[in-house]
Structure formats: structure tokens, C-alpha cells
């Protein structure tokens, strides 16, 4: 997976976190129209087939060659939403935007690739031999054959080019920094040979071939292969690869590439070689090579058809003891994909290599996954429960790509969500099955709300299938990944497990070995289930989070209960007008005792359908109503169970009493959590308004007084938390999340001109009040969930649950800032036997100013100075800290020997960590912004992708008060006009300013 989702991790919760903006729902008169109960279409039972099967036949599978020969865009099937061209200001180096609508198949394809790498300390030589096939169809009379334009990069030096065995002299080809153009090509198939020279040791972009900790490795997604050799660097060109690697044997004993090892041997002068062959055609973004000094641990997996697969993880020698969890996770993933989707692994070997310098999380290269080492290595002493769980999820994610991404790949990069949304969905389901489904769902929704909703409401908003980009790297976003997964989940919710599986089977059957589009996926799902999913298709082209407004009415005489639903989506950059989308509303109705009532849904034709106690309504128009009959008493509705659609829902007339009732009784665990969140959100926003109205003194004391005057934290709220904490039926992980307040980011979107430090104070006030009033309960839970003496660490759902609730309670208690508690935390920190507990205690201490903070940080550094992954936590905790005036400390950290600015993980921990501090990044004097602006420009000279992630910290500037807006804008303007800026940073900064 991924994009370093950790770039935005909240330290408060074990979730990838987010920000959010709220578009107030446009209210309209809507209630009381029981006569207009219109179309209640029920899902999952295939009650209505709005489109006959044969209408879809035309979109059935087209062979790849045919597909390539037609310049069809993928717009036809999924309805288009009006989209203006997203105009950008001029840029000194003139970056080009690419548009989805411009897709055309390439005039040539490549069937086989032979690569030969001569790896040396100074110059690496890459010889590439391509079998090129014409793909231009019939030429008009007299027309000359099209040119072959191969993508390149300026640091890949062209040494030789030959066509059909003839070396071309200068003048017989055109070469620019970015492209090699070959003209006068022979008819039919022919061979092209290209030799390039590279300096991987100087490649700090970490795209293409580079060195990490002395080893050679590659990263080719999205467009890194062109940094290795001139090529048709696009995913719809799929070829079979043979790769020969030659290197010094002592320094690079391990030589790996995709597929199977065909041959290896010794050469003169202490050198050796290996030849790898990948039998599966693949796009070049899945190519990989590794050469280095690595140790390996191996396990074996027997597939469902009885084949033995060797599973190997390669790491540096000193890390060999930390790979067991990743290996275990891989085995679980392989088994799960067989059991759940009938997908078997297709080669006899599956390799994973861990590297320290990696821009993202991990990469699914065919049979040779390359991972950021932080997503492979784990031991109880160095990794937290969250690390263990991420490793399991990401190992699964990359493995699942073998079918969703590699066997069936994307036609062009606009289709990225085809593989990523689907694979995230699959990894989410895997984790849900391995651990707790409810806990996983809540975590995923927290991520979505915290960062995706914010992205969707800001200047970088884009549909899950974007319409244009300058740098594809910038579109590995929470929208493409996480919202993309939510859209895949819509199919699952609408079609049911069985229907979804049928759709997946058809998708693989039709498209195995091909490069396809999101429309193809939708078509497979629709065809396999004989349903019309056109309104679901709109989610692919529309940016922004839809608002769902629900009002209800109960007719006691007729015993009917009616839901009136409305939806709208606010305009986003380039999209002023939005259409309604298909929103599956999963729901239940609670009776007075808290039990679910039977759902009898009345259709527009008067027929009644029995939905059991949890049903799914298919809401796909601007307005619809749904009527239930036989409802004996007015129920409390539990809507959007399991968060059945990525929308913002407003329920008219939903009172605190309703929410307290749902929190106590809902049979849907997600909605129990959600009701608590809604209560907390209301409370925090109310207190924030009071605090903001009270003038300029934003000290904790002044803010506390204003909040208290506004009613403070009501008893009912405290009581609800008390009930959750004491509920024996709930597991600790769920409880921990249920008593966590919504993040500041999530609230920000509901506040016009927000002041982040003030919001932070308000939130801390509430935490403190809760801790004061619930102290006995919190202390009791700490005791009850503490380790037994001598207990060893296990990564099991049960053990994680104990640690989760214990550490949440400790964090709440630490807000009291009492010497006794602080002392207890220091003792816990010293005595901790696993990283989960150790970091939990340390993160509390880091928020407190004073000697204990410094002692603890120094001790931690001393203990882990030789563990770079643990030092990331040390950097991150300090960077994210809200201890006032922390900017000065962070500036010093940049010069600390432990900090390495060329390593992406270091930058993410320090700079992105800092960007998450409401107090210090948003310091009123602008010092945090200036620091970040400088850091962006500095990092951009090293690594454009990392710098682009950093500059995103400024994208939310419109959310804040006018002083902060001015300062943040000024940083963006300074960055955009900086000479020599990368296209990556330019794209984010310029779009943010729009």
C-alpha cells in the first residue's frame, strides 16, 4: 500500500487521520409528505432490473489488441459530470497537464523486453532489447508509419540506439531530456535496442534505479521506469520481461528481479550474474530489481491446488529477527484470498525486500514486492500494535495486488482507483476478518473523515478517477485510495457478499491479462448481477462529499414510518454542478426497548418487502422517500449502519436523547460509536463557539472558564462515557475508540475561520473534564487491563484490546497534569516491556513541559539510538507535540545527528508530524508556517515527491482565521514563485492557491 498514509497519522488514535471541511447542508421544506412515498427500491434481492442484460453486451470484453486499436476513452459508460478545464497559472518550466479525455492507445506495443544491468559503483549500464509490434492498424495510402516515441528522463544518459539491428547515428533519431523519437521504422515487428548509463548512487528522487543503505533497488510506479531506460512508460503496454543482472559478488551477493530465477553463475573479477524471467506480461511500472547484501528468511505455502510456493523476505542481517510477523501475515493473506475470492498465487516464488529509503509504503512489483522497512520489521520491543496491524494490512494489500493490479491492471493512470480502491477494500476486509470487523470499520471511517473529507472539500478535491494531472505521483491520494475503497464497498453493500463475488469472478474472467478501466469493473459487477449501476458510476467522476439529509415522520394511526431523503454535493474545483449519486442507506429502526424492529418496506407499487431487521435502501435521486409499515410505536432510526456510504449525514430532529439511546442500544456497533461521536462533535462545537466569542485570552485557564460558563461537559455526556467504559460486553479496542473525541481536523470543517490552537484548548478542556469525573473508572480500567507480571507480548485482537483501553485511559488521566500521575507515567515508561506501552507513556509525557519530558526523551534516545525505525517515533512525537514554543526545538532536531533529510521516513516523521500540531504549526506568529515553507523548498532539491506531500500542509489554508490565511497563503506564494521548483510541488501549491 500505499501512499504513506502515515504521513497523516493522528497520534491520538490508532488510525490514519484526517481533516475535514463541512458544507452546511442546504435545508429545504421537506417533511410531512407521506403521500409522495416514491420509489423504494430495495437492494440485494434483485427486485428491480432497470436495464435488460443485452444492453450491456456491447461492453463485454474486448481483446487487448482491439482495445488498443480504438481510441475510445472510458467516458461512454459511466455518465459524465460537467467538468471545466482546471486552469493553472503559468509555471517557469512549463509543466504539462495530462487529461483523461485525451487517452489514445499507443501506435506501437512491446511484446518482450530483455534487460541487462551491469551494476558498478560509478556508472550502471542498462541495455534493453525490445520486440516492438505495430498497433496503428491500417494506414491510409501514402501515409508514413507513425514515429515511436519512448519516454526518458534527463539522468538516464542515452548511449546507443539500434533499430532492427542497425545502430542509429546521431541525426537518425531525436533525443530530448524526456523523449527519444524514432522515425522511418520498418513495417511489421522489429527490434529496438537502447543502452543507457545511470548513476543510481546520485538518485535522491528514489524513482527508477537508486541506492538505499548500499543496496541497489528500483521503484517504477508510476513513471519511474523511464528513469532506467527509454520505454513506452504507460500501463497499457504489457510485455514479458527477462532480466539479467551482473554485479560484484562480495558487495551484492543477492540479485533479484521479477518472476523465476532461470540462471546464475560466477564471472571473472569477483563478479556474478543472475537471469530472471517473468512469464506474465506486465506493464513496466511492475518491474523491479534488487542487488545487495541481504539476509533472507523463508517459509513455504501450499496453494489450494497443491503447489508449493517459496515465500522469502530479504532484509539487512541485523533485522532478520524482525520478519516473522510479516511472513505470517503473507501466509494469512494468501490463504484469505483463496478462501474469500478463490484467487490462487501464480508463481513458485514470492519475494519481499525491505528498504530504508522509500517514498511510499510498499510496492506490488510482480513476485518481488519492495517495502518500506517500517512496514516489514517488527518486534515487541520496537513496534507498536499499530505497526503490527499496519504490517499485516500492507503485506496483505501488496499481495492482493497480484490479482487486482497485476493480473488485471489499469489502462491509464487516471484509472488508478481501479486497482487501489479495490485493493484497499480487499485489505480492509482481510483485516476485518483477521481481527475485529467493527473496530476496523471505525478506524477506516476515522481516516476517511479526518483526511479524505478535508481533501474533498479543499482546493485539491478530485474525483476518485481524476480528470487531469501534472504529476501522477500527486494522485496517490486518500481520495483515490480510501474513498475509492468506499466506492467498491458500495457494490458490496448493494449486491451482497454473493453478488459481489460473482462480479469479481466475472471481472477476472473477462480481463485477466489486460489493462482496463473503471467502467470495465462497473460493467462486470452490473452484468454479473443483472442490475443497473449507472448512478453508482457517477461516484467515479464527481468530487466532493455528498450531503445526505434525512427527515422522518411517524403516522401513529396508520402505523407507518417514513424517511424523506435529500442529497446534494457542493461544487468543487472545475465542477459546479453535481448530479445525485447512488447512496445505499443501510438502516434499522429501534423500538423502545432498544431492540431492532422488523422492517417492512412499502414499494411504489404498494407491494411490501420484508427486509429483516437491517435493510439497505437504494437512494439515487435528489429526493426520495421510503415508507415502512406495521411500525407499532415511533422508532429511533439507526441510519447509515456500518457507514454504508461516504457521505455527511444530517438527521433532522435527531436529539441528544436519540444519540444517547443509540449509543447504549444500537445493534450496529459502528452506529454505537458514531452516536457517541455525534454527541461529542455537538458538544465541542458548542464549547468552541463559546470560547471563541470570549475574546483574545486563549490560555487554558481562560478557555476553561468560558467553556464552564457555557455549561461545560454535561452530566448526561459523562454518564454515557461512564456506561461505555463499564459495559462488559464491549471489547477494549472498541471502548477506546468510543471514548476518543473527534479530532480537531474533523471538527475544523464545521467552523468558519477556525483557530486551531483555540480548538485544541477546547478539546483538552473536555478531555480533562472527562478525566476528572471518570477518574475512578479510568483507574479501574487501567488496573484491570494491565499486563500480568512476566506477561509476554502477543499481537492478538484480545491483547491489543487490553492495551488499547489501558493506554487510552492513561492518556485521559495524563491530561490532569497531576504530579502523581505524571510520576506514574514515568514509571510505566521505564518499566514497559513492549513498544506499545512504552510509546503510549512517552507520548503522554511529551505533552507535558518540564524535566520529566526531557528525561524520558533522552532515555528513549539512548536506548534506541541504533534502531532507526524507533527513532522515527522519537522524532515524530517531538514534532507533533503541542508543548508551546516547540518550533524552536524542532529546528534543533533538524540538525540532530539522528535526523536524515534525504530519508523520506525521517521527513514524514519530522515535517509532516510538525504539520499536525494545531498549536505549533499554526502558531499565531507564523513561525510554524515559515519553518515549513523553508523545509519544503529545501526538501524539494532532494526529493520532489516528499516535498509535495509536505506542501499539502498548506492546502487547508481557507479553513482558518484571516490572519492565518494571509500567512499560509504567503508561504504558498513564496513557494510557487521559487525558481527551479519541481512540477510535483508546483502542482500542489498552485492548485492550493486557486
Which residues are catalytically annotated? 398
Nearest distance, CB of residue 184 and ligand PHE, angstroms? 36
Candidates 360-368, 826-834, 838-846, 958-966 — which segment interacts with ligand PHE by CB under 6 A? 360-368
3 state SS of 914: helix
Q: Is 221 in the site for ligand PHE (CB under 6 A)?
A: yes
Q: Is 363 in the site for ligand PHE (CB under 6 A)?
A: yes
3 state SS of 928: helix
Find which of ligand PHE, Zn ion, none residue 221 binds, CB within 5 to 8 Å per kind.
ligand PHE
Nearest distance, CB of residue 226 and ligand PHE, angstroms? 14
Give how far Cα 137 sits from Cα of 147, 259, 712, 828, 952, Å.
Answer: 14, 32, 74, 72, 44
Residue linked to cell 475509492: 484
CA 144/CA 146 separation, integer angstroms: 6
Residues 6+ apart with CB under 8 A from 102: none
CA 485/CA 749 separation, integer angstroms: 23
Give me the sign of the Cα torsion angle 186, 192, 195, 200.
positive
Nearest distance, CB of residue 4 and ligand PHE, angstroms? 9
C-alpha cell at 859: 532515555
Q: Which is nearer to ligand PHE, 476 or 911 (CB)?
A: 476
Q: Which is nearer to Zn ion, 59 or 340 (CB)?
A: 340
Residues 6+ apart with CB under 8 A from 94: none
Find which of ligand PHE, Zn ion, none residue 518 binds, CB within 5 to 8 Å per kind.
none
CA 438/CA 434 separation, integer angstroms: 12
Q: Which is nearer to Zn ion, 423 or 451 (CB)?
A: 423
Binding characters for Zn ion, 377-416, by CB under 5 A (x = yes): ----------------------------------------
Residues 6+ apart with CB under 8 A from 685: 747, 750, 751
Q: Is 5 in the site for ligand PHE (CB under 6 A)?
A: no
Nearest distance, CB of residue 2 and ligand PHE, angstroms? 4
Give how far Cα 590 sits from Cα of 9, 316, 557, 565, 636, Å.
Answer: 35, 56, 19, 19, 5
Q: Which is nearer to ligand PHE, 286 or 937 (CB)?
A: 286
**Residue 896 CB neighbours (<10 A):** 14
Q: How many residues bind ligand PHE (CB under 6 A)?
A: 13
Q: CB nearest ligand PHE: which residue? A: 360
User: How big is the chain by its Cα radius of gyration, in Å?
Assistant: 29
Binding characters for ligand PHE, 372-401, by CB under 6 A (x = yes): -------------------------xx---
Within residues 417-436, the interface with ligand PHE by CB under 6 A covers 420
Beta bridge partners of 553: 562
Nearest distance, CB of residue 1 and ligand PHE, angstroms? 4
Q: Which is nearer to ligand PHE, 230 or 413 (CB)?
A: 413
Q: Is 449 in the site for ligand PHE (CB under 6 A)?
A: no
Which one of residues 10, 203, 219, 351 is an interface residue with ligand PHE (CB under 6 A)? 219
Residues 6+ apart with CB under 8 A from 871: 861, 864, 865, 898
Find which of Zn ion, ligand PHE, none residue 746 binds, CB within 5 to 8 Å per kind.
none
Q: Is 7 in the site for ligand PHE (CB under 6 A)?
A: no
Q: Is 362 in the site for ligand PHE (CB under 6 A)?
A: yes
What's the half-sphere exposure (Cβ side, CA atoms, 13 Å) at 21? 22
3 state SS of 118: strand
Nearest distance, CB of residue 335 and ligand PHE, angstroms? 20
Nearest distance, CB of residue 748 and ligand PHE, angstroms? 27
Candidates 257-265, 362-370, 728-736, 891-899 — which segment interacts with ligand PHE by CB under 6 A? 362-370
Give me the sign of the Cα torsion angle 680, 686, 690, 692.
positive
Within residues 553-572, the interface with ligand PHE by CB under 6 A covers none
CA 241/CA 790 separation, integer angstroms: 53
Which 8-state DSSP code applies to residue 871? H
DSSP string, 81-97: -----------TT-PPP
Nearest distance, CB of residue 389 and Zn ion, angstroms? 17
Find which of ligand PHE, Zn ion, none residue 360 binds, CB within 5 to 8 Å per kind.
ligand PHE
CA 875/CA 855 separation, integer angstroms: 15
**Residue 636 CB neighbours (<10 A):** 22
Within residues 456-515, the interface with ligand PHE by CB under 6 A covers 476
Residue linked to cell 455527511: 648
Q: Which is nearer to ligand PHE, 221 or 236 (CB)?
A: 221
Helix axes 385-400, 835-846, angle to 10 degrees: 120
Q: How many residues bind Zn ion (CB under 5 A)?
A: 3
Find which of Zn ion, ligand PHE, none residue 74 binds, CB within 5 to 8 Å per kind.
none
Which one of residues 236, 364, 519, 674 is an interface residue with ligand PHE (CB under 6 A)? 364
What is the β-pairing status of strands 636-639 and 108-118?
unpaired
Binding characters for Zn ion, 578-597, by CB under 5 A (x = yes): --------------------
Q: Which is nearer to ligand PHE, 413 or 688 (CB)?
A: 413
Find which of Zn ion, ligand PHE, none residue 362 binds, CB within 5 to 8 Å per kind.
ligand PHE
Which DSSP helix (H) or strand (E) runs through 854? helix 851-864
What's the half-sphere exposure (Cβ side, CA atoms, 13 Å) at 516? 27
Q: Is 360 in the site for ligand PHE (CB under 6 A)?
A: yes
C-alpha cell at 460: 485539491
Residue linked to cell 499486563: 787
Find which of Zn ion, ligand PHE, none residue 316 binds, CB within 5 to 8 Å per kind.
none
Counts of helices then strands in the chain (DSSP H, E): 30, 34
CA 633/CA 589 separation, integer angstroms: 10
CA 270/CA 250 separation, integer angstroms: 7
Q: Which is nearer to Zn ion, 423 or 881 (CB)?
A: 423
Binding characters for Zn ion, 413-432, by CB under 5 A (x = yes): -------x--x---------
Question: ∠417-420-424 over CA atoms, to 5°?
Answer: 125
Q: Is 1 in the site for ligand PHE (CB under 6 A)?
A: yes
Nearest distance, CB of residue 223 and ligand PHE, angstroms? 10
Candidates 184-192, 214-222, 250-258, 935-943 — which segment interacts with ligand PHE by CB under 6 A? 214-222
Residue 113: which of 282, 234, 235 has the closest Cα?
Answer: 282
Q: Which is nearer to ligand PHE, 364 or 940 (CB)?
A: 364
Q: Is 674 in the site for ligand PHE (CB under 6 A)?
A: no
Q: Which is nearer to Zn ion, 283 or 676 (CB)?
A: 283
Give how far Cα 640 sits from Cα of 550, 648, 985, Å.
Answer: 11, 10, 38
Candidates 125-133, 156-164, 357-365, 512-520 — which segment interacts with ligand PHE by CB under 6 A? 357-365
Cis amide linkage into residue 315, ω under 30° from 0: no
Find which of Zn ion, ligand PHE, none residue 476 binds, CB within 5 to 8 Å per kind.
ligand PHE
Nearest distance, CB of residue 250 and ligand PHE, angstroms? 30
Nearest distance, CB of residue 842 and ligand PHE, angstroms? 30
CA 16/CA 206 separation, integer angstroms: 24
Residue 31: which of 557, 564, 560 has the closest Cα?
Answer: 564
Q: Which is nearer to ligand PHE, 406 or 971 (CB)?
A: 406
Q: Is 315 in the site for ligand PHE (CB under 6 A)?
A: no
Q: Is 366 in the site for ligand PHE (CB under 6 A)?
A: no
Residues that bind ligand PHE (CB under 6 A): 1-2, 219, 221-222, 360, 362-364, 397-398, 420, 476
Residues that bind Zn ion (CB under 5 A): 1, 420, 423
Amino acid at each position: 500500500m500505499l501512499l504513506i498514509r502515515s504521513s497523516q497519522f493522528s497520534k491520538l488514535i490508532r488510525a490514519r487521520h484526517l481533516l475535514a471541511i463541512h458544507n452546511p447542508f442546504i435545508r429545504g421544506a421537506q417533511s410531512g409528505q407521506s403521500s409522495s412515498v416514491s420509489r423504494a427500491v430495495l437492494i440485494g434481492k434483485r427486485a428491480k432490473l432497470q436495464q435488460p442484460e443485452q444492453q450491456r453486451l456491447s461492453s463485454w470484453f474486448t481483446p487487448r489488441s482491439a482495445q488498443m486499436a480504438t481510441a475510445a476513452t472510458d467516458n461512454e459508460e459511466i455518465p459524465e459530470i460537467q467538468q471545466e478545464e482546471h486552469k493553472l497559472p503559468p509555471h517557469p518550466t512549463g509543466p504539462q497537464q495530462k487529461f483523461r479525455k485525451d487517452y489514445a492507445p499507443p501506435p506501437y506495443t512491446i511484446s518482450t523486453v530483455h534487460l541487462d544491468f551491469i551494476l558498478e559503483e560509478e556508472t550502471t549500464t542498462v541495455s534493453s532489447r525490445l520486440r516492438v509490434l505495430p498497433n496503428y492498424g491500417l494506414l491510409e495510402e501514402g501515409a508514413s508509419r507513425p514515429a515511436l516515441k519512448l519516454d526518458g528522463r534527463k539522468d538516464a544518459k542515452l548511449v546507443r540506439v539500434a533499430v532492427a539491428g542497425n545502430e542509429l547515428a546521431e541525426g537518425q533519431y531525436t533525443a530530448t531530456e524526456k523523449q527519444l523519437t524514432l522515425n522511418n521504422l520498418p513495417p511489421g515487428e522489429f527490434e529496438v535496442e537502447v543502452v543507457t548509463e545511470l548513476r543510481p548512487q546520485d538518485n535522491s528522487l528514489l524513482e527508477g534505479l537508486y541506492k538505499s543503505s548500499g543496496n541497489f533497488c528500483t521503484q517504477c510506479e508510476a513513471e519511474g521506469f523511464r528513469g532506467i531506460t527509454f520505454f513506452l512508460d504507460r500501463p497499457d503496454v504489457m510485455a514479458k520481461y527477462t532480466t539479467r543482472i551482473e554485479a560484484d559478488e562480495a558487495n551484492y551477493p543477492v540479485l533479484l528481479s521479477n518472476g523465476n530465477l532461470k540462471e546464475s553463475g560466477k564471472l571473472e573479477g569477483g563478479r556474478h550474474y543472475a537471469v530472471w524471467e517473468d512469464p506474465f506480461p506486465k506493464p513496466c511500472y511492475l518491474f523491479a530489481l534488487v542487488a545487495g547484501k541481504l539476509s533472507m528468511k523463508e517459509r513455504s505455502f501450499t496453494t489450494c491446488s497443491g503447489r508449493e510456493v517459496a515465500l522469502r523476505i530479504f532484509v539487512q542481517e541485523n533485522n532478520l529477527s524482525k520478519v516473522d510477523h510479516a511472513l505470517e501475515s503473507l501466509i494469512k493473506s494468501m490463504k484469505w484470498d483463496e478462501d474469500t475470492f478463490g484467487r490462487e498465487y501464480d508463481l513458485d516464488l514470492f519475494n519481499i525486500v525491505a528498504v530504508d529509503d522509500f517514498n511510499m509504503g510498499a510496492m506490488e512489483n510482480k513476485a518481488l514486492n519492495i517495502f518500506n522497512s517500517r512496514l516489514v520489521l517488527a518486534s515487541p520491543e520496537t513496534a507498536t500494535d499499530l505497526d503490527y496491524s499496519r504490517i499485516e494490512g500492507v503485506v496483505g494489500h501488496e499481495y492482493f495486488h497480484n490479482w487486482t493490479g497485476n493480473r488485471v491492471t489499469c489502462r491509464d493512470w487516471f484509472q488508478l482507483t481501479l486497482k487501489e480502491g479495490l485493493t484497499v477494500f480487499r485489505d480492509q476486509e482481510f483485516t476485518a476478518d483477521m481481527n475485529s470487523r467493527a473496530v476496523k470499520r471505525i478506524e477506516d471511517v476515522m481516516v476517511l473523515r479526518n483526511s479524505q473529507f478535508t481533501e474533498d472539500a479543499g482546493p485539491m478535491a478530485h474525483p476518485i478517477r481524476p480528470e487531469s494531472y501534472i504529476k501522477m505521483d500527486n494522485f496517490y491520494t486518500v481520495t483515490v485510495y480510501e474513498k475509492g475503497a468506499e466506492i467498491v464497498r458500495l457494490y458490496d453493500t448493494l449486491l451482497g457478499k454473493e453478488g459481489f463475488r460473482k462480479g469479481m469472478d466475472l471481472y477476472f474472467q473477462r480481463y485477466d491479462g489486460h489493462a482496463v478501466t473503471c467502467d470495465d469493473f462497473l460493467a462486470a459487477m452490473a452484468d454479473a448481477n443483472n442490475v443497473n449501476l449507472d448512478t453508482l458510476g457517477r461516484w467515479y467522476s464527481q468530487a466532493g462529499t455528498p450531503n445526505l439529509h434525512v427527515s422522518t415522520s411517524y403516522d401513529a394511526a396508520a402505523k407507518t414510518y417514513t424517511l424523506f431523503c435529500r442529497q446534494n454535493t457542493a461544487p468543487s474545483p472545475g465542477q459546479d454542478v453535481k448530479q445525485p449519486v447512488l447512496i445505499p442507506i443501510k438502516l434499522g429502526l429501534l423500538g423502545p426497548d432498544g431492540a431492532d424492529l422488523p422492517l417492512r418496506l412499502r414499494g411504489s407499487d404498494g407491494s411490501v418487502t420484508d427486509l429483516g431487521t437491517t435493510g439497505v435502501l437504494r437512494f439515487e435521486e435528489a429526493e426520495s422517500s421510503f415508507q415502512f409499515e406495521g411500525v407499532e410505536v415511533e422508532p429511533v432510526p439507526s441510519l447509515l449502519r456500518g457507514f454504508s456510504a461516504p457521505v455527511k449525514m444530517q438527521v433532522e430532529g435527531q436529539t441528544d436523547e436519540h444519540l444517547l439511546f443509540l449509543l447504549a442500544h444500537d445493534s450496529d456497533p459502528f452506529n454505537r460509536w458514531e452516536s457517541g461521536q455525534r454527541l461529542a462533535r455537538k458538544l465541542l462545537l458548542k464549547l468552541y463557539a463559546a470560547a471563541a466569542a470570549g475574546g483574545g485570552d486563549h490560555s487554558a485557564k481562560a478557555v476553561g472558564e468560558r467553556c464552564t460558563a457555557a455549561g461545560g461537559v454535561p452530566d448526561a455526556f459523562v454518564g454515557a462515557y461512564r456506561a461505555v467504559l463499564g459495559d462488559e460486553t464491549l471489547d477494549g479496542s472498541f471502548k477506546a475508540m468510543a471514548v476518543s473525541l473527534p479530532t480537531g481536523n474533523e471538527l475544523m470543517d464545521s467552523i468558519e475561520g477556525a483557530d486551531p490552537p483555540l480548538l485544541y484548548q477546547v478539546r483538552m478542556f473536555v478531555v480533562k473534564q472527562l478525566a476528572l469525573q471518570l477518574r475512578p473508572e479510568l483507574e479501574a480500567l487501567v488496573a484491570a487491563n494491565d499486563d500480568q507480571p512476566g506477561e509476554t507480548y502477543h499481537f492478538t485482537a484480545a491483547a491489543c484490546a487490553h492495551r488499547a483501553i489501558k493506554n487510552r485511559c492513561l492518556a485521559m488521566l495524563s491530561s490532569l497534569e497531576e504530579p502523581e500521575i505524571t510520576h506514574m507515567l514515568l514509571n510505566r515508561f521505564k518499566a514497559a516491556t513492549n513498544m506499545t506501552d512504552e510509546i503510549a507513556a512517552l507520548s503522554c509525557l511529551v505533552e507535558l513541559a518540564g524535566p520529566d519530558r526531557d528525561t524520558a526523551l533522552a532515555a528513549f534516545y539512548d536506548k534506541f539510538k541504533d534502531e532507526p525505525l524507533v527513532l522515527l517515533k522519537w522524532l515524530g512525537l517531538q514534532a507533533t507535540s503541542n508543548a508551546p514554543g516547540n518550533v524552536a526545538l524542532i529546528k534543533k532536531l533538524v540538525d540532530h545527528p539522528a535526523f536524515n533529510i534525504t530519508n523520506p521516513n525521517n521527513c514524514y516523521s519530522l515535517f509532516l508530524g510538525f504539520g499536525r500540531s494545531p498549536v505549533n504549526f499554526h502558531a499565531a506568529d507564523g513561525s510554524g508556517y515559515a519553518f515549513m515553507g523553508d523545509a519544503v523548498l529545501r526538501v524539494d532539491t532532494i526529493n520532489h515527491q516528499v516535498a509535495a506531500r509536505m506542501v499539502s500542509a498548506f492546502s487547508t489554508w481557507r479553513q482558518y482565521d484571516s490572519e492565518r490565511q494571509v500567512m499560509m497563503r504567503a508561504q504558498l506564494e513564496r513557494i510557487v514563485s521559487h525558481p527551479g521548483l519541481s512540477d510535483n510541488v508546483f502542482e500542489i501549491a498552485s492548485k492550493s492557491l486557486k
